[in-house]
Chain A
Amino acid sequence: MAEQQIKGYQTGTFVVGNRLLDPEQRSIQARTERSNTLTSGHRACQGCGEALGARYTLDAAMRATDGKVVACNATGCLEVFSTPYPESSWQLPWIHSLFGNAPAVAAGVAAALKAKGREDIRVVGQAGDGGTVDIGFACLSGMFERNDDVLFVCYDNEGYMNTGVQRSGATPPAARTANTKPVGQEPGNVFGQGKNVPMIAMAHEIPYVATATVAEPRDLERKVERAMEIRGARYIHVFVPCPLGWGAASKDTIRLARLVKETGIFPVFEAEEGEVTGVSKIRRRVAVTEYLKLQRRYAHLFKPEVNTEVIARLQAGADRNIRRFDLLADDEGAEFPGEATDQAGESESGPGTPPIPEADGQTAGMLRDTHGNPR
């Protein structure tokens, strides 16, 4: 169930700062007392999903712990764009060691704090998909296995972006990267490879595993808060679009994050000790093509001609996730409720936005008067 219980998209923005919500329900980003843990001045690209994800995550962690967090960061975009020597945009104690050891460094920090009687200070380890899924994998599994008191966050933009967009174990099938180019028999990244780290985390039966996207900040924040209520190894996998690496418009970052969920490609869920405890249902299901066509890394699936076979395989993958995680709300059928139109850029609501249900009450009336119907 989605965190935000608002009905519809009254304000025209469905991200942060919904002033119609109860203050407590608002995103931490909407509050003036937010930590700004990753403060402005960093060198991230325009539309960087990871900068967004890191900001949401750490501000939530700081709020949940009364400002007592130590962050251990792997090498990667986040580390590079946030600490251009001699400047740093971090407003919390932060250490970058190596590419593959963030989970182990975090475990060490947690052990030190425990030995020093400072378990009130919490540890967050963070890395991109490279530092989590591939080179950091052994350390990650070790940290899980020992149940070290660390929240590890993976910002997954599905490739080694900082070094020029190479394929990682998180790169989805058919995607173009610098070393999985759309040439030869099987264009793009091959099918049948890759790791599902959230499920691997669940297999370790650690206290808490969750996935989230930057399209739903309140959901991500709540998951971080939930994680901070728990001691032991915890893992959050955040889907963060990379406009540069994916060949997407920088203004589409949030849209892409929403679409990846609404297609079923990226299941959003929570699990505790190896069992799924909650699933964020798809609000209005969308075909994978709506997601793919916004990214040049999939352009070869549409030009010079539409590669129906590969698209069908990708759709089948999404269908499988929907089945596996039971991602459809009960009233959603297996059919798509009509082809979503390519209205990117036209209306802020974007494709797949349901019409506002007839609601009574003062607020709804006010809305109709001032905004009319958004379609």
Chain B
Amino acid sequence: MLEQLEGSQAVARAVGMCRPQVIAAYPISPQTHIVEALSDMVLTGDIDPCEYLMVESEFAAMSACIGACAAGARTYTATASQGLLFMAEALYNASGLGLPIVMTLANRAIGAPINIWNDHSDSMSQRDSGWIQLFAETNQEAVDLHIQAYCLAEELSLPVMVCMDGFILTHAFEQVDLPTQEQVDSFLPPFEPRQMLDPAEPMTIGAMVGPEAFTEVKYLMHAKQLQALDAIPEITADFTGIFGRESGGLVRGYRLEDAETVVVALGSVLGTIEDVIDELREQGVKIGALSIKCFRPWPIDEVREALEGAERVVVIEKAFAVGAGGIVGQNVRLALSGCESTVYDIVAGLGGRPITRKSLGTLFEDVLEGRIEPTGLHFLDLKKDVVEREISRMEHGKKPGPHAENILRDIGTVASDSH
């Protein structure tokens, strides 16, 4: 049923309908509204039976999920940014143990400097943790992906994180078609664990594995994650069958048919990008977009297929590898190895800096006119003068002071700026 509500509330309702039996979560902006709503639902009995653990940290949250899932319960948690890092050890533990935990990641920048706004540095930092990573473009998709995630996780016995842009999606009010409990039940059967802590059939979980077997265990993890590349299209097809709409998948193309330039991105920014693409198309520019829905495993074949005909590929990402370059860009280049396309690595939206239609329009024009170098990393809307002043300070001052404070003073930032 169509409702106008906050993204976080919609996600909480969807998660509730997945009938989690244990929720262990620690609050962190911008995920707080989700876990608060779920707590209410448990207290009122809207989700029942369910135990809600008020854990003392994100590390404890994921650890409790590990215990609960190993004991055969469907589990859920949510976090962002610093919280994801705090549970990093446990993330690897969960995937290594093959536990089908589902987690919402409300994408937020990682400090220092501390920043509560959206970017993808958190999810990118854990891309190798063995978790499946799905990205939602809209709150509708966020709702749908959580439901699909449980199906996927439990089928493969692997944990899944559903990434949704913090604040931009979590705190946005928009129209969402919320499914009914019956629909969700018909799509998602009760959890049947592959392994379970059960006195009736005792088993040892979490033994040490030495050099003689470790490689094989890791190989199997890799192979298992790659199975998601087949499982996801099947699950999304089943989803469409029951819920009547397309959601999720590995990648989604927009106006790719004859596109000479393709813009690649993840998450909510695709909406703004598509508006700009429509404008440019009206001017006769052959441009399209590719939304990466599943970042891990990396859908290398699907990306290659979508992009190989393009002259130019413009990767726009909300994170980067410090000292090295782009992250999504690097994965895209891998998919295109041997192809003729020129790949541009653009970093945008860091720490919540808005990505505007105006800036994107200028960027695409610059790319088309050859004003952007295809090598190296290009930072959209970088305040060059501020950076140059700071570099000059560093070169000339014995004690130039901290970057962040100097820059803030330079900019004279007032919180009321609507940009």
**Contact, CB under 8 Å: A97 / B202:** no
A85 to B203, CA, bound (A): 13
Stretch at the interface among B8-16, B157-165, B204-212: B204-212
**Minimum distance in angstroms from A294 CB to a CB of chain B:** 32
A109 contacts which of B50, B54, B71, B207 (Cβ < 8 Å)? B71
| B29 on the A face (CB < 8 A) | no
A85 to B208, CA, bound (A): 6
Residues on A with C-beta less than 8 A from B59 are 100-101, 104, 138-139
Known contacts A68-B199, A98-B63, A115-B49; is-contact A108 B71 (Cβ 8 Å): yes
| A145 on the B face (CB < 8 A) | yes
Interface string of A69-86 (1 = CB under 8 A from B): 110110000011001111
Known contacts A70-B197, A105-B63, A121-B199; is-contact A138 B205 (Cβ 8 Å): no
**Contact, CB under 8 Å: A107 / B210:** no
Q: Which residue of A lies closest to B55 (CB)?
A: A142
**Contact, CB under 8 Å: A111 / B202:** no
**Contact, CB under 8 Å: B204 / A115:** no
Known contacts A91-B202, A142-B57, A142-B60; is-contact A83 B71 (Cβ 8 Å): no
**Considering the complex, which residues of chain A in the window 238-287 have a beta carbon less than 8 Å from any beta carbon of chain B?**
none
**Minimum distance in angstroms from B415 CB to a CB of chain A:** 33
**Contact, CB under 8 Å: B55 / A104:** yes
| A45 on the B face (CB < 8 A) | no
**Contact, CB under 8 Å: A67 / B60:** no
Known contacts A111-B53, A116-B49, A117-B49; is-contact A83 B67 (Cβ 8 Å): no
Residues on B with C-beta less than 8 A from A72 are 67
Interface string of B179-219 (1 = CB under 8 A from A): 00000000000000000111101111111111001000000
Grouping DSSP codes into helix (H, G, I), strand (E, B) and loop, the A interface class, with mixed when no group exceeds half, is mixed
Known contacts A97-B97, A109-B68; is-contact A116 B204 (Cβ 8 Å): no
Residues on B with C-beta less than 8 A from A67 are 199
**Contact, CB under 8 Å: B63 / A96:** no
**Considering the complex, which residues of chain B in the window 46-98 have a beta carbon less than 8 Å from any beta carbon of chain A?**
49-51, 53-57, 59-61, 63-73, 75, 89-90, 93, 97
A95 to B67, CA, bound (A): 8
Q: Which residue of A lies closest to B47 (CB)?
A: A115
**Contact, CB under 8 Å: B204 / A141:** no
- How many residues of chain B are within 8 Å of chain A by beta carbon? 45
| A323 on the B face (CB < 8 A) | no
Residues on B with C-beta less than 8 A from A90 are 202, 204
**Contact, CB under 8 Å: B197 / A95:** yes
**Contact, CB under 8 Å: B63 / A97:** yes
Interface centre among B49, B201, B204, B210 (most CB of A within 10 A): B204
A138 to B64, CA, bound (A): 13
A88 contacts which of B66, B71, B196, B207 (Cβ < 8 Å)? B207
| B24 on the A face (CB < 8 A) | yes
**Contact, CB under 8 Å: B68 / A111:** yes
A108 contacts which of B68, B93, B199, B202 (Cβ < 8 Å)? B68
**Contact, CB under 8 Å: A83 / B56:** no
Residues on A with C-beta less than 8 A from B205 are 94-96
| A15 on the B face (CB < 8 A) | no
| B39 on the A face (CB < 8 A) | no
**Minimum distance in angstroms from A115 CB to a CB of chain B:** 4
| A112 on the B face (CB < 8 A) | yes
Known contacts A98-B63, A100-B59, A105-B67; is-contact A93 B22 (Cβ 8 Å): no
Interface size, A (range): 35 or more
| A368 on the B face (CB < 8 A) | no
Residues on A with C-beta less than 8 A from B170 are none
**Contact, CB under 8 Å: B73 / A98:** no
**Minimum distance in angstroms from A42 CB to a CB of chain B:** 12
| A114 on the B face (CB < 8 A) | yes
A165 to B297, CA, bound (A): 41
A112 contacts which of B21, B57, B208 (Cβ < 8 Å)? B21
**Contact, CB under 8 Å: B56 / A97:** no
**Contact, CB under 8 Å: A105 / B66:** yes
Q: Which residue of B lies closest to A62 (CB)?
A: B199
| A31 on the B face (CB < 8 A) | no
Residues on A with C-beta less than 8 A from B63 are 97-98, 101, 104-105, 108, 139
**Minimum distance in angstroms from A38 CB to a CB of chain B:** 11
A91 to B67, CA, bound (A): 18
A135 to B87, CA, bound (A): 14
A106 to B73, CA, bound (A): 13
Known contacts A67-B199, A97-B90; is-contact A113 B53 (Cβ 8 Å): no
Q: Which residue of B lies closest to A101 (CB)?
A: B63
Q: Which residue of A lies closest to B54 (CB)?
A: A146
**Contact, CB under 8 Å: B207 / A96:** yes
**Contact, CB under 8 Å: A85 / B213:** yes
**Contact, CB under 8 Å: B67 / A104:** yes
**Contact, CB under 8 Å: B56 / A138:** yes
**Contact, CB under 8 Å: A101 / B21:** no
**Contact, CB under 8 Å: B204 / A146:** no
**Contact, CB under 8 Å: A107 / B64:** yes
Residues on B with C-beta less than 8 A from A98 are 63, 89-90, 93
Q: Which residue of A lies closest to B198 (CB)?
A: A93
**Minimum distance in angstroms from A8 CB to a CB of chain B:** 40
**Minimum distance in angstroms from B22 CB to a CB of chain A:** 5
| A190 on the B face (CB < 8 A) | no
Residues on A with C-beta less than 8 A from B22 are 108, 111-112, 115
| A310 on the B face (CB < 8 A) | no
**Minimum distance in angstroms from B80 CB to a CB of chain A:** 19
| A92 on the B face (CB < 8 A) | yes
**Contact, CB under 8 Å: B199 / A69:** yes
A73 to B207, CA, bound (A): 11
**Contact, CB under 8 Å: B51 / A114:** yes
A86 to B207, CA, bound (A): 8
B71 contacts which of A85, A97, A112, A145 (Cβ < 8 Å)? A112
Residues on A with C-beta less than 8 A from B210 are 85
**Contact, CB under 8 Å: B203 / A111:** no
**Considering the complex, which residues of chain B in the window 244-300 have a beta carbon less than 8 Å from any beta carbon of chain A?**
none
Known contacts A83-B208, A116-B21; is-contact A93 B203 (Cβ 8 Å): yes
**Contact, CB under 8 Å: A112 / B73:** yes
**Contact, CB under 8 Å: B204 / A145:** no
**Contact, CB under 8 Å: A138 / B199:** no
Residues on B with C-beta less than 8 A from A109 are 67-68, 70-71, 197
**Minimum distance in angstroms from A67 CB to a CB of chain B:** 6
**Considering the complex, which residues of chain A in the window 303-360 have a beta carbon less than 8 Å from any beta carbon of chain B?**
none
- A contact residues vs B (CB 8 Å cutoff): 67-70, 72-73, 79-80, 83-86, 88, 90-98, 100-101, 104-117, 121, 138-139, 141-142, 145-146, 148
Interface CB pairs A-B, < 8 A, 18: A70-B199, A83-B208, A88-B204, A93-B201, A93-B203, A94-B203, A94-B204, A94-B205, A95-B70, A97-B93, A100-B89, A108-B53, A108-B65, A111-B24, A112-B21, A112-B51, A112-B73, A112-B75
Query: What are the 9 tightest A-B residue pairs by CB atom distance, in nearest-first order?
Result: A108-B67, A142-B56, A96-B206, A108-B64, A112-B73, A101-B63, A104-B63, A105-B67, A112-B71
